[in-house]
Structure formats: C-alpha cells, structure tokens
C-alpha cells in the first residue's frame, strides 16, 4: 500500500486543528518573550524541556532555558511564518523568524518546537533553533 501524503484528506484538517489548538498558546508565549517576561515565558516549557541551538549547544530544564533567554535581552524578534502539524499527543511548529539587534543588525532564523499535551493544554517539550 502506498500512502499519498500530498492528497491525503486528513492533512488539511489536522493542520487546521493543530493551529487552532496551539496558536493562542503560541501567541501568549511570543508576547511573554517579546516583553522579556522570562519567568512567564519559561512557564510554557515542560519541566523536562530542552532548548537546543542547532550545531552549538543545548540546555535542559526551565531555569537553564531562562538563563539562555537572558542572553537575548537586547534583541527584538518577530515570527515571519508558522507551520503546524499534529499527532495524538504532540503538535509540532516550524517557524521562520527575524531577530534585530544593534550589534548584528537583522538576522533570520528557523525554529522547531514540539509541544506535548498535558491534560487539557500543551507545554513546550523541545525547541531547536538556528540563526543564520
């Protein structure tokens, strides 16, 4: 049996459902980051979450993630695009973003977030990002 993913009748509804489930939470997360409310931002992460800067290093746990966020306190960012997918207990979000700082100017990057269902909500379980 060959599965035709491009023409799958489930593909669009699952993407729409993933987006409708996660987008409000993702927007609150982005607002907390934008306003540099680091305690509020890390509360979206699972206690066992990992944050990985692709090809450089990774950290584990909310406190370590908060320390990484503090390094970005002089950077403004915005999300340029988002793509959602889901399984039973996880929603993945691929995003492209732009960071602006006095030191480096404008930089573009990509992020992959894996959100895990916990009860009736989702928590950020794994995040990988790279800045070009």
All structural domains of the chain: 12-131 (3.10.450.50)
Asked if residue 71 has pLDDT above 90, the reply is: no
Radius of gyration of the chain (CA): 16
pTM exceeds 0.85, yes or no: no
3-state secondary structure of 123: strand
- pLDDT-derived band of residue 3, with 50, 70 and 90 as boundaries? very low
Burial 21-39 (b: 16+ CB within 10 A, else e): bbeebbeebbebbeeeebe
Closest Cα to residue 40, out of 49, 28, 50? 28
Q: Name the most confidently modeled range: 4-8, 43-47, 65-69.
A: 43-47
* CA–CA distance, 116 with 92 (Å, rounded to integer): 9
């Amino acid at each position: 049996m060959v599965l035709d993913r491009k023409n799958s009748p489930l593909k669009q509804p699952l993407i729409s459902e993933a987006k409708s489930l996660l987008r409000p939470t993702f927007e609150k997360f982005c607002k907390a980051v934008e306003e540099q409310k680091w305690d509020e931002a890390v509360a979206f992460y699972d206690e066992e979450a990992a944050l990985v800067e692709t090809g450089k290093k990774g950290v584990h746990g909310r406190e370590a993630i908060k320390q990484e966020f503090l390094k970005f306190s002089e950077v403004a960012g915005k999300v340029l695009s988002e793509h959602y997918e889901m399984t039973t207990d996880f929603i993945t979000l691929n995003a492209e973003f732009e960071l602006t700082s006095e030191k480096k100017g404008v930089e573009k990057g990509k992020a992959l977030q894996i959100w895990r269902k916990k009860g009736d909500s989702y928590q950020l379980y794994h995040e990988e990002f790279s800045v070009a």
